[in-house]
Amino acid sequence: MTSLTGDTDVFSTASFGASPKASVMFVATRQDDLPGIYGEAHRRAILAVLDELAAEGWTLSLRRVFDPEAPNAPRALATGFTHSHDIAGVFEAPDLESALAGTVRLEKAGWARAFRTEWLMGVKEFAPVMGKGALTDHGWSFLALWEWNDQWCEATPAERTEYDFECDIAFKGDLALGVNIAGRHRLDWSHGWHHLGAWEIDGPDTADAAIRGHEEVADFKFTTSRHIVGRLEPLAELIAPRHA
Amino acid sequence: MTQSVWIHYSRPRPHWYLLDEAQKLTLTEAWQAVRDKASAGGAQYNGRFHIRGQHDFQEVEIWKFASTTEAFEHWQALCAARYNEFFAFSNNIGLETGT
């Protein structure tokens, strides 16, 4: 039991069995500005590593977190339209050792040439939660990073529990908007951010409507957050070289 | 198993300064017990350094653990002893390159 907070109506502690227990998030910015930095051979090498990771039990597509029958072809968020970075994404890995080693394998295969990347390693805390219309392919994703602020840290356990259940009202609103929530990933042991929430959504407007609900219940009185929204696209296309 | 480095940046949160000396001592002793247990379990402690003059945080601790999971478990033990409630932090994990 490693969850930092208890279960709520929406969230329950994940029981994993054979499913992945760790997660790897990345936020990456293209840097292959000149010919010769990153080419097709590097791209093929990265895709070969991704194939190996899939064979080793990684989940490379958010869709598959909610639907085990969905293909495991890697997908990531195209974020350049509204962020300073170009792509972001979340994979799930069998354990922390393979998660960290996997990032190194990808970097060495050529990822380090193509991107400047922030990698975030997580531990899965809560089970995925299905919203209304859960099994449709939503096409977009919303990633929420947050840290509990000094006020949360100063609050009593009872005040924190009360806050969790206030936030639950907003999370129920998210589910009503058709959002699927991939549990909660704990990042604090290896990063400045404490948690990641990864959602499937049908577009940026849904993220905006959902966050308004979180503002109404004063979610952000206890947190500092960073939100990322992007369209889900095949990673093989997102890592195509800029120069032949 | 490749060795992992675990780098821990910290600074007291504002309400840490509101505790009396006895409360602070109880907490710091509990946290030191967690560190001692990690060392007894084979973790290598490389010291704590003051960095506030050139950083957002006040101190940095550098540890080596036999595995990534051991680093996580050390942090989890500190959190169970309420360390994260009284100290702001930023952690980092890395794999030894062997070069």
Q: Residues of B at the A interface (Cβ-Cβ below 8 Å)? A: 1-2, 4, 6, 13-15, 67-69, 71-72, 75-76, 79, 84-86, 88-93, 95
Whether the pLDDT of residue B86 is over 50: the answer is: yes
Whether the pLDDT of residue A19 is over 70: the answer is: no
The predicted-structure confidence for B36-69, as pLDDT tens digits, reads as follows 999 999 999 999 999 999 999 999 999 999 999 9
**pLDDT band, very low/low/confident/very high, at A20 (cuts 50, 70, 90):** low
Closest CA in chain A for residue B97: A104
C-alpha span between A232 and A220 (Å, rounded): 27
Torsions phi, psi for A70 (to 5 deg): -70, 150
Closest CA in chain A for residue B65: A97
pLDDT value of position A1: 45
Average pLDDT for A74-88:
97
- DSSP, collapsed to helix, strand or coil, labels residue B99 as coil
CB A138 within 8 A of CB A180: yes
C-alpha span between A89 and A77 (Å, rounded): 6
C-alpha closest to that of A216 among A178, A184, A169: A169
Which percentage of chain A shows pLDDT scores above 70?
95
What does the mean pLDDT of chain A come to?
91
Whether the pLDDT of residue A15 is over 70: the answer is: no
Kindly state the DSSP code that residue B80 receives in the 8-state scheme.
Answer: H
**pLDDT band, very low/low/confident/very high, at A38 (cuts 50, 70, 90):** very high
DSSP for A121-189, please give it.
EEEEEE--B--TTTTS---EEEEEEEEE-HHHHHS-HHHHHHHHHHHHHHHHHHHHTT-EE--EEE-TT
One-letter identity of residue A96: L
Whether the pLDDT of residue B98 is over 60: the answer is: yes
The answer to which of A43-52, A191-200, A213-222, B31-40 has the lowest mean pLDDT is A213-222
C-alpha closest to that of B95 among A186, A147, A90, A119: A119
Closest CA in chain B for residue A155: B85
pLDDT value of position B40: 97
The predicted-structure confidence for A189-212, as pLDDT tens digits, reads as follows 999 999 999 999 999 999 999 999
Beta bridge partners of A76: A233
CB A147 within 8 A of CB A187: no
CB pair distance less than 8 Å for A95 and B69 = yes
Q: Which residues of A touch B91 (CB under 8 A)?
A: 188-192
C-alpha span between B21 and B29 (Å, rounded): 12
Average pLDDT for A55-64:
95
C-alpha closest to that of B86 among B23, B13, B10: B13
- Pick A80 or A220 by higher pLDDT: A80
β-strands B59-65, B87-95 pairing? unpaired
